[in-house]
């Protein structure tokens, strides 16, 4: 059984590639990397083909995450055919995704931080124009949500779980 996860932010150079890289790391450590496919995209077309923001890469590298192979791309309507989870970093991007999603999409379309267990925020703030520790704060939020998402997927998508999954939880 394969599960496909897409992380989405505005430009696909800060938050969503961070989630992509961290989640891949969690999957590797848990030996779930062969069961879950991960990607990231942006709702805008500003950074197609570009590497993540150097500040994002540097902050992630300090914590042992490698984002160097990732490149920006724009989310498409076809992504809803390919991904079981389409997770937005904030409400504005979620609204854009809801507009793009086909009416019959049966996967989980929602906010990524809904999977966080130690945070009270529901949106990952965009660190792009921020100062100081914005990238570190984003890492904290995303690490928490990635751990929660992995637990959720392990619970709902293991061989012993039902083939019919309730995406409302």
Q: Compute CA distances 128 → 10, 12, 42, 55, 135, whole Å.
A: 10, 11, 14, 9, 8
Q: Compute CA distances 64 → 60, 96, 144, whole Å.
A: 6, 32, 15
Strand, coil or helix: 40: strand
Indicate which residues carry an active-site annotation: 9, 15, 126
- pLDDT 10s digits, 34-67: 999 999 999 998 888 898 999 999 999 999 999 9
pTM exceeds cut of 0.85: yes
Q: Where are the domains of the chain?
A: 3-157
- Tell me the fold of 3-157: Rossmann fold (3.40.50)
């Amino acid at each position: 059984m394969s599960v496909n996860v897409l992380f989405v932010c505005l430009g696909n150079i800060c938050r969503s590639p961070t989630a992509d890289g961290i989640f891949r790391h969690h999957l590797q450590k848990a030996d779930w990397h062969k069961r879950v496919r991960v990607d990231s995209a942006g709702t805008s077309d500003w950074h197609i083909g570009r590497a993540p923001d150097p500040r994002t890469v540097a902050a992630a590298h300090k914590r042992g995450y490698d984002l160097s192979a990732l490149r920006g791309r724009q989310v498409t309507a076809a992504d809803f055919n390919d991904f079981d989870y389409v997770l937005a970093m904030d409400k504005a991007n979620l609204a854009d995704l809801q507009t793009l999603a086909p009416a019959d999409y049966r996967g989980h379309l929602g906010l990524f931080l809904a999977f966080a267990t130690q945070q009270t925020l529901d949106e990952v703030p965009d660190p792009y124009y921020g100062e100081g520790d914005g990238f570190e704060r984003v890492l904290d939020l995303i690490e928490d949500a990635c751990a929660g998402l992995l637990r959720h997927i392990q619970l709902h998508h293991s061989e012993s779980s039902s083939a019919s999954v309730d995406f409302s939880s």
